[in-house]
């Protein structure tokens, strides 16, 4: 059974991607709601004259995904304590709000917000509004699926908004943060959590020639094998490929350039970048990775460390 959910979480460009990827969601439409003006323009809504919020209206199959799950996804995209907007997007139209379409939805939202308050995760009170659904006006086609149609502009705008960095701090628990601080050195934390880059030729594995695999320093997830490592002359460990399904790639528009960032799937740690200047006979890619994001496990230690399945990567057996 298809139902409707409506969320306002700042610039509505950021409300598409988190929901379109969810199983059970059939459609995400961007638009304006909560105000009185009929068919307002984007410019007028942003001026604050209409009283409308930038919002996303979601059609979902409630037999596949529950409304509460959507509410949880929504809250993890916002700062629910910000009453002036969201991150660098300021003004009434960027305030966070949930527009309920039934008494049931209202109850779910109220209960969830009480749970957040009781958990004491936030030091400031929650200010996300709970409002009855009203007329929803679809935004111009230019804005629909903006993150797909205008990838570079979307990434640049998202970077300048400060959203991603802030969300990590907002939703990471005190326990998680303390665990990372205790587990990682300042350099490891800076690289994996703050997207920093370690110095070339002054890192642990740039010239490693031992056989073994490299795992995520945080999660232990296998990422790269020495069988795919080569000397690229750049001062960082370089690989022609990653272990299958262990990394994800995202556009990086920092430092006034366009690059492809490499992150670990399990811990979402920053690892490095991938470039199209690797050995042609091995696929042409160069995964340039920070040593600080990795832990090396020598071939002889694979069984002891719990990675026996990777022995097959190497020709001779470990005694």
Our answer to whether residue 93 is catalytic in this structure is no
Mean pLDDT score, 16-44: 94
* pLDDT per position as a tens digit, 126-182: 999 999 999 999 999 999 998 888 888 888 888 888 888 788 788 876 667 778 888
Query: H or E stretch including 43?
Result: helix 42-47
We report the CATH number of the domain holding residue 125 as: 3.30.1060.10
159 and 198 share one domain: no
Do 8 and 143 lie in one domain? The reply is yes
Q: At 242, which CATH number? A: 2.170.150.20
Are 16 and 123 members of one domain? yes
Q: What's the pLDDT score for residue 319?
A: 42
Strand runs labelled E in 10-92: 25-33, 53-61, 85-86, 89-90
Annotated catalytic residue within 46, 93, 234, 288 = 288
For residue 173, the model assigns a pLDDT of 63
Range 273-290 average pLDDT: 96
| pLDDT of amino acid 119 | 85
Say if residue 196 is in the same domain as residue 152: no
Residue 176 lies in a domain: no
Here the tokens at position 281 are: 């006979």
In the block, which residue shows the tokens 């094998």?
A: 225
Beta strands in the chain (DSSP E): 2-9, 25-33, 53-61, 85-86, 89-90, 96-100, 129-132, 136-138, 212-216, 222-225, 229-230, 238-239, 247-252, 259-264, 270-275, 286-289, 294-298
pTM, two decimal places: 0.68
Please state which of the ranges 63-72, 126-135, 250-259, 277-286 shows the lowest mean pLDDT.
Answer: 250-259
Q: Taking CA 113 as the corner, what is the angle to CA 112 and CA 118, rounded to the nearest 5 degrees?
A: 100
The residue from 11, 46, 93, 234 that is catalytic is 11
User: Do 158 and 195 sit in the same domain of this protein?
Assistant: no
Domain that holds residue 229: 183-313
Active site residue 288: yes
Q: How many CB atoms lie within 10 A of CB 88?
A: 14
For 89, list phi and psi in degrees, rounded to 5. Answer: -95, 110
Q: What is the mean pLDDT of residues 293-315?
A: 93
pLDDT at 13 over 80: yes
8 lies in the same domain as 111:
yes
- The total number of structural domains in the chain stands at 2
Task: Tell which wins on pLDDT, 260 or 172.
Answer: 260
- What digits encode the pLDDT tens for the residues 57-82? 999 999 999 999 999 999 999 999 99
To the nearest whole percent, how much of the chain has pLDDT over 70?
A: 97
- 10: confidence class by pLDDT, cuts 50, 70, 90: very high
The whole-angstrom distance between residue 30's C-alpha and the CA centroid of its chain comes to 20
pLDDT band at 112 (very low <50, low <70, confident <90, very high): very high
pLDDT of 225: 97
**121 in any annotated domain:** yes
- Residues 187, 138, single domain; the answer is no
163 plus 188 within the same structural domain:
no
Is residue 61 assigned to a domain? Answer: yes
- When the pLDDT of each residue in the chain is averaged and rounded to a whole number, the result is 92
What is the rounded average pLDDT of the residues 77-106?
95
pLDDT over threshold 50, residue 256: yes
Within this chain, do residues 218 and 285 fall inside the same structural domain, yes or no? Answer: yes
Q: Can you give the pLDDT at residue 175?
A: 66
Q: What is the pLDDT of residue 317?
A: 45
Most confident range (mean pLDDT) of 136-150, 174-188, 225-239, 252-266 is 225-239
Same domain, 38 and 7: yes
127-141, 160-174, 207-221, 284-298: range with lowest mean pLDDT: 160-174
> How large is the average pLDDT for residues 228-257?
91
């Amino acid at each position: 059974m298809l139902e409707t959910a409506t969320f306002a979480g700042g610039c509505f460009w950021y409300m598409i991607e988190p929901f379109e990827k969810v199983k059970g969601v059939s459609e995400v439409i961007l638009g304006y709601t909560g105000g009185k003006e009929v068919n307002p323009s984007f410019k007028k809504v942003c001026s604050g004259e209409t009283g409308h919020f930038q919002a996303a209206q979601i059609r979902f199959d409630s037999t596949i995904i529950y409304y509460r799950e959507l509410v949880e996804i929504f809250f993890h995209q916002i700062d629910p304590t910000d009453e002036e907007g969201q991150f660098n997007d300021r003004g009434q139209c960027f305030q966070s709000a949930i527009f309920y379409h039934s008494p049931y939805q209202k109850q779910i939202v109220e209960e969830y917000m009480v749970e957040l308050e009781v958990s004491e995760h936030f030091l400031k009170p929650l200010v996300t509004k709970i409002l009855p659904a009203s007329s929803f006006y679809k935004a111009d086609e230019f804005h629909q699926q903006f993150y797909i149609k205008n990838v570079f502009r979307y990434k640049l705008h998202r970077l300048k908004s400060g959203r991603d960095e802030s969300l990590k701090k907002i939703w990471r628990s005190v326990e998680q943060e303390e665990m990372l601080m205790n587990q990682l050195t300042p350099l490891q934390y800076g690289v994996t959590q703050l997207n920093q880059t370690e110095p070339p030729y002054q890192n642990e594995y740039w010239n490693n020639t031992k056989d073994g695999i490299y795992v995520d320093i945080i999660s232990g997830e296998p990422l790269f094998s020495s069988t795919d490592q080569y000397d690229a002359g750049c001062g960082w460990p370089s690989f022609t490929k990653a272990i299958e399904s262990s990394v994800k790639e995202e556009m990086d528009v920092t430092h006034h350039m366009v690059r492809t960032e490499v992150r670990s799937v399990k811990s979402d740690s920053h690892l490095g970048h991938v470039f199209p200047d690797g050995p042609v006979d091995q696929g042409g890619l160069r995964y340039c990775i920070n040593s600080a994001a990795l832990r090396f496990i020598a071939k002889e230690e694979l069984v002891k460390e719990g990675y026996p399945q990777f022995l097959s990567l190497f020709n001779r057996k470990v005694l």
